[in-house]
Structure 1
């Protein structure tokens, strides 16, 4: 492959021979889906749980796969541990967490999502969260990257977010944040776009975001690709074939935009799960058992989305 292909993994999937066979056949990089997040690792300021993340890291070593660390600082996690701390202890715990986690996998993780989802949901500014209230909206991001760089200086350090293709306002805010942080000397090493694609977005919108993001010259990670066929409550008169055609067109455009990057900027192309039934989109009350957001169906057979991605890569 001309660049690494990745998937999300959970340690329990290593006990499923069908999943293992599919992953080892098609991917060269794993991202822990949940078990390297703070919610899993950190039970208290000095209480760490390593069983599952260590197992994922060991699986990568055993099978010659790259490990991408996900995620050190995320607005959605950590409040229950950090919010009761005074400022001095907050900073000590913040720095210590990053040093401990990134340091544990130093030399094994090729990259880290250092800060995850810093931009507000609607794209207008940055999120208000326990990290920003203690350290400032840009301040906590800058500090996280500085601490990660000290803990694992050879890893590629990513700012990672979602809806950057789906919402041009959010994409522009993300890129302004990157520009501002780089000018301040923050050691951002790469840009992660989750690419949970809305199949309704206009043609060309994904390509435009990649063009603007590529101007920084940094590695880009398609970090969590999936593309739901659901209509999300909208009245939907499209046939299943029309929905699949929209899905594959948007995914093909994303793949084309990624493979058009200079080789040094193609960090990895990661799909957020192997089979449709592994997807987070198939784990909630909305699931009707029919969504097909990934490259393989429940039986491990390629979906039309697989053909869209593979067709673009083979054409290169």
Structure 2
């Protein structure tokens, strides 16, 4: 099966339409096929995936990502996944850093100001210590959480609760967390300005952000403190607003130490758009974290008559572009490259009512076999 599929690929049977849908996957070619062009190498890898991953898996999985990356490779984790031997084996094979997907967020930790729940985040921290993995803290302040816990508090109590929460969480994991997403998703959905939320209503739009960073710096002075957001590559308006916010905060002396781009990639974005954003962000000289990578094949709200293979080609090209742009950064700015889950079935995109069981937004399928997206990342790292 594998040899037949490679021949089909080299004969041009993979459905590529433009050069922007090509990504370098050369090291994935079977050993007998040498000296081929980058275009042919990519075509062979995607054809193997299209023909069936069962036989392609041993080739794609041969090299653990963490062994070829000159920077940390991360994934999101939930404490319950540590009870799944297949997940643990896959994670320890490929990644060197974990980000708690949900259990280090306020919604989990804080029952009400002053009352905390530490069981799951402690378990994640302990797992990282036991397996010598880096731990990235996510997230101290998020517009989407905290409204219920802080509801009804007067201004002094609100501010005290805000300050105490950041101090309690950041100090508890001081020395164990390498970096924190201090403020998550501060920019408005459409990119026109910042979000209005319960934090900004009391402390101001820039005010709550600056205060959170200052408190985190005091509680965990050695951690790298990140401003984290999404759709920065997908929406140039939002990316520009994010970068203006960073510039404003730095000029005000706010201790922003790193920039997190979630990279929930839209496979429809034009080629080159992701690279342009990464280069602009890099101009600040701060560490950059690709913090929540996935790339859905779904076309929510759009009529889509394209084949699955065509969408996989687009996905692979966009992910390859992101990985290559990250690899091109100066070494000191490559904080980590994190995917938001390992297997497709681990993804948040597969947990809602829209899921038809067919989306493939991550590096591995439900059985832990490499998806074409794995090849895109692996090739860029190589």
TM-score range, shorter chain: over 0.9
Structure 2 partner of 1:4: 72
The Cα offsets for residues 249-272 of structure 1, whole Å up to 9 and x where unpaired, read as 000000011000000000000000
Please list, as runs of the form range in 1=range in 2, the aligned pairs for 1:26-45 lying within 5 A after superposition. Answer: 26-45=94-113
Structure 2 partner of 1:14: 82
Structure 2 CA distance for aligned equivalents of residues 284 and 82 of structure 1: 28
TM-score, with structure 2 as normaliser: 0.82
Structure 2 CA distance for aligned equivalents of residues 93 and 288 of structure 1: 42
Structure 1 CA distance for aligned equivalents of residues 289 and 279 of structure 2: 14
The Cα offsets for residues 100-158 of structure 1, whole Å up to 9 and x where unpaired, read as 00000000000000000000000000000000000000000000000000000000000
Runs of 4+ in 1 over 3 A off after TM superposition: none
Structure 2 CA distance for aligned equivalents of residues 141 and 240 of structure 1: 42
The Cα offsets for residues 216-252 of structure 1, whole Å up to 9 and x where unpaired, read as 0000000000000001121111111100000000000
Please list, as runs of the form range in 1=range in 2, the aligned pairs for 1:301-312 lying within 5 A after superposition. Answer: 301-312=369-380
Structure 1 partner of 2:170: 102
**Mean CA deviation greater in 84-93 or 191-200:** 84-93
> Alignment partner for residue 191 of structure 2, among 115, 123, 126?
123
- Corresponding residue SS for 1:60: helix
Structure 1 CA distance for aligned equivalents of residues 170 and 90 of structure 2: 29
Aligned-residue offset at 1:83? 2.9
Structure 2 partner of 1:206: 274
Could you say what the CA RMSD is over the residues aligned between the two structures, in angstroms?
A: 0.5
Structure 2 partner of 1:168: 236
Structure 2 CA distance for aligned equivalents of residues 76 and 112 of structure 1: 17
Please list, as runs of the form range in 1=range in 2, the aligned pairs for 1:291-306 lying within 5 A after superposition. Answer: 291-306=359-374
| Alignment pair present for 1:221 and 2:289 | yes
- Corresponding residue SS for 2:269: coil
Structure 1 CA distance for aligned equivalents of residues 358 and 155 of structure 2: 49
| Alignment pair present for 1:23 and 2:74 | no
> Alignment partner for residue 249 of structure 1, among 314, 317, 336?
317
Structure 1 partner of 2:259: 191
| Alignment pair present for 1:88 and 2:156 | yes
Q: Could you say which structure has the larger radius of gyration? A: 2
- By relative contact order (CA 8 Å, sep 6+), the higher-ranking structure is 2
The Cα offsets for residues 61-102 of structure 1, whole Å up to 9 and x where unpaired, read as 000000000000000000111131111111111110000000
TM-score, with structure 1 as normaliser: 0.99
Structure 1 CA distance for aligned equivalents of residues 343 and 319 of structure 2: 16
Structure 2 CA distance for aligned equivalents of residues 162 and 233 of structure 1: 20
Structure 1 partner of 2:326: 258
The Cα offsets for residues 9-57 of structure 1, whole Å up to 9 and x where unpaired, read as 0000000000000000000000000000000000011110000000000
Structure 1 CA distance for aligned equivalents of residues 301 and 158 of structure 2: 41
Structure 1 CA distance for aligned equivalents of residues 343 and 82 of structure 2: 14
The Cα offsets for residues 246-302 of structure 1, whole Å up to 9 and x where unpaired, read as 000000000011000000000000000010000000001111111000000000000
Structure 1 partner of 2:346: 278
Structure 2 CA distance for aligned equivalents of residues 165 and 79 of structure 1: 29
Structure 2 CA distance for aligned equivalents of residues 44 and 233 of structure 1: 38
- Corresponding residue SS for 1:308: helix
User: How many residues are matched?
Assistant: 314
- Corresponding residue SS for 1:3: coil
Structure 1 CA distance for aligned equivalents of residues 368 and 110 of structure 2: 34
Structure 1 partner of 2:34: none
Return 5+ residue gaps in structure 1 as ranges: none
The Cα offsets for residues 181-231 of structure 1, whole Å up to 9 and x where unpaired, read as 000000000000000000000000000001100000000000000000001
Please list, as runs of the form range in 1=range in 2, the aligned pairs for 1:140-159 lying within 5 A after superposition. Answer: 140-159=208-227
Structure 1 CA distance for aligned equivalents of residues 200 and 323 of structure 2: 34
